[in-house]
Amino acid sequence: MLKKRVIFVLLYDNGIFSYSRNFCLQKVGDLNWLKQNYNFSHISFFIDELIILDVSRGERDSDKFNDHIGALTEECFIPIAAGGGIETASQARDLFKHGADKIVINSLASASTEVINEISMEFGRQSVVISVDAKLEEGKFNSWINSGSTRHTPLLEWLTDISKLPIGELYLNSIDNDGVGNGYHLDLLDSLPESFPVPIILAGGAGKYEHFADALQDDRVNAVATANLFNFIGNGLEKSRNKLLSNGFNLAHWDSYIALKMKNILI
């Protein structure tokens, strides 16, 4: 049985890390602020992966984003997925060169499956995460693209198409619950086609431990993700993971002392 995972998500907006609420961005702080408030060499032992998404509005500076990826990988002992605005295989290669272990693709999936095939063939399908943003409208879920600005197709239809792509994971995100902190939109899972072939990361709505627990109890959920910068400052992630472990959730148990010693951090 696959281990369940807890994933932390950072939203990058033109050099500033931001907080999102229903896809409206609020700037929080730069890389120095992030390092002051989140010790990633410590947090790495209480999350399973880190996702960094470039959600910059307008023109993106790929080189600057890549530099931030490189800076964050220096402190993390865990896999890092990065994405946002990827349109070519070359952009994906640059992210891998700067330390990303996986790339996250959203709108590209609706524009060019050929590029996804190319990335998957070169780096392996396990390195490709497809991100889907969904919104509830008149009782039905629709998928949205272009940073949540363009309605795409009914969610079930889009997930059925995605299930045929050479990908390793699905990142399923609720626009309605994004940043609200009232819990995940578990009804999103009912739009999954039967026997969806890859692990599901559920995102959008986590604000406390109970939200992680509610989602991870669902057999369809392989991982929970949170981008809530404020609720998990300090030792919030550490407390949540320890509580999940103590309540029998099938998470990996990292021995921080041994890992730090191997990194020659402890004397």
What span, in angstroms and rounded, lies between the C-alpha atoms of 21 and 135?
A: 13
What span, in angstroms and rounded, lies between the C-alpha atoms of 185 and 188?
A: 6
Tell me how far CA of residue 259 lies from CA of 37, 45, 177, 234, 265, in angstroms: 22, 9, 36, 21, 9
| 208: helix, strand or coil | coil
Q: How many Cα neighbours within 13 Å face the side chain of 254? A: 20
Could you tell me which of 226, 247, 206 has the C-alpha nearest to residue 49?
226
Give catalytic residues, as residue numbers.
133
201, 171 contact by CB (below 8 A):
yes
Residues in a beta bridge with 246: none
* Tokens (6 digits) for 236: 């919030």
Eight-class DSSP state of 188 = G
